[in-house]
Chain A
Amino acid sequence: MSQIFPPWWNKLPLAAALAGVLVPVLAVGGVWYFFSPWYTDVGYQPAQPVPYSHKLHVGELGLDCRYCHASVEIAGVANIPPTQTCMNCHQLVKRDSEVLAPIRDSATSGRPMRWIRVHELPDYAYFTHRSHVTAGIGCVTCHGRVDEMEKVTQMAPLSMSWCLDCHRDPGPNRRPVSEVTNMKWTPPRDPEVRLAQLQSARAVNPPTDCSGCHR
């Protein structure tokens, strides 16, 4: 009588055990890594209609964030500046620059610039810049070192768990309100000074319940 099962069937239990471990681990790990906003969103760097360099304007020329994003302290959105704000300087500076042609066209024709949004929260998440900035959360905390960016890049995942990490313990990310737009600020080394700094700041109570943001 011939054998029903060939000899390699002896290895089947081992192979099945290996696959039974490897496949779930790879699936879970793959979803964990590739579906996370750290992979899908961080590093998003779209090309803008005008290659505006924050590195030049903020890092080297020293413009304050609020010169252009003027409404950040009083409104939910940190506004993208109107063409007029660019022309404040560029009607005198770099008047013949090739890359600034869309700005000049916009100013003369009245057609607005169409910038590409980099940092985007879903519509079901309520977010306001005003309450974060006035609570002493620096621009750099969420947007990274914009003063070193040639092209604006998303640096933080802007995911819910990332928001909640700070909402549960905002202390380490807080700074004096006067230093909010300072890209190079670091907390004082002396723990006592730091403690006094935090204690003198306005008490904040960031919401961690669902309706705090999903309202």
Chain B
Amino acid sequence: MSPRHTLDHPGHGRGVSRTYWRSLGQLQDSPESRAFLEREFPEGASEPAAGITRRDMITLLGASMSMAGLAGCDIARRPVEEIVPYVTAPEDSVPGVPRFYATTMPFGRSAYGLIVESHEGRPTKIEGNPAHPSTAGVSSARIQASVLGLYDPDRSQTARFKGEPKTWNDFVTAWAEIAKAHAADGGAGLAVLSESFSSPTLARLASELRTRYPRATWATY
């Protein structure tokens, strides 16, 4: 056994050298334990037993990178860009020329008068409307950022029932059942949760609902 694996403590009070061991295999000096000791790493720790090794992987990666560079030496454009025109062009729209729409954005119980720049039907920039008293041509950070909300992937695109996307027809069917169930009790236990609003139309609809179901709750946030 090599000195690396034995610890001699000469003396130790009695002048006797002792042999220390770290495993039963070492004590027995079996061939398996000797092979285990002589390997730097356990089997499979530095290289997989089969398949591609780390070094081969790096070699292949480097080779494919340089091949990709070579492929650039050709009249081949990457990425290939597509032009997708209209099928039937809208009569008053010119591609590349933005259109500006005056609109209002409800926010809480007020509304902002805005001008929205739109490219081929896609809104890109929102500014205050100079002719509208609520903004007078200026805007806030919230208004500027609201254009991002239009492209928010989390924005609900359809009606949902317990998180499952449903169609509006499903809602109408479901509502018909709810209406039947609450016809007798005046809407006890029925609640509508909505954003706070100042829309006269929605207010009228809400009051109609309250007339029909006097015990229902309409909560806003």
Contacts and interface: CB of A to CB of B under 8 A. Distances in A.
* A and B co-occur in one complex: yes
Contacts of B89: 82, 84-85
A204 interface: no
Given A71-B96, A74-B94, A115-B82, A44 B77 contact: yes
Contacts of A43: 75
Q: How large is the interface on B (under 10, 10 to 19, 20 to 34, 35 or more residues)?
A: 10 to 19
B153 to A, nearest CB: 23
B35 interface: no
A115 B157 CA distance: 30
Nearest to B73: A34
A75 B89 CA distance: 15
Q: How large is the interface on A (under 10, 10 to 19, 20 to 34, 35 or more residues)?
A: 20 to 34
Contacts of A84: 86-89
- Tell me whether chain A's interface is mostly helix, strand or loop, or mixed: loop
A71 B75 contact: no
Given A41-B75, A44-B77, A77 B96 contact: yes
Interface stretch (A2-10, A104-112, A137-145): A104-112
A114 interface: yes
A114 B80 contact: no
Interface string B19-58: 0000000000000000000000000000000000000000
A184 interface: no
Given A74-B97, A75-B95, A80 B85 contact: yes
B84 interface: yes
Interface in A103-142: 106-107, 110-117, 120
A53 interface: no
B83 interface: yes
A62 interface: no
A111 B85 CA distance: 10
Interface string B153-194: 000000000000000000000000000000000000000000
B100 to A, nearest CB: 15
A111 B80 CA distance: 20
A112 B86 CA distance: 6
B96 A82 contact: no
Contacts of B96: 71, 75-77, 79
Nearest to A108: B87
B152 interface: no
9 contacts: A34-B73, A71-B94, A76-B96, A76-B97, A79-B94, A82-B87, A83-B87, A85-B89, A117-B81
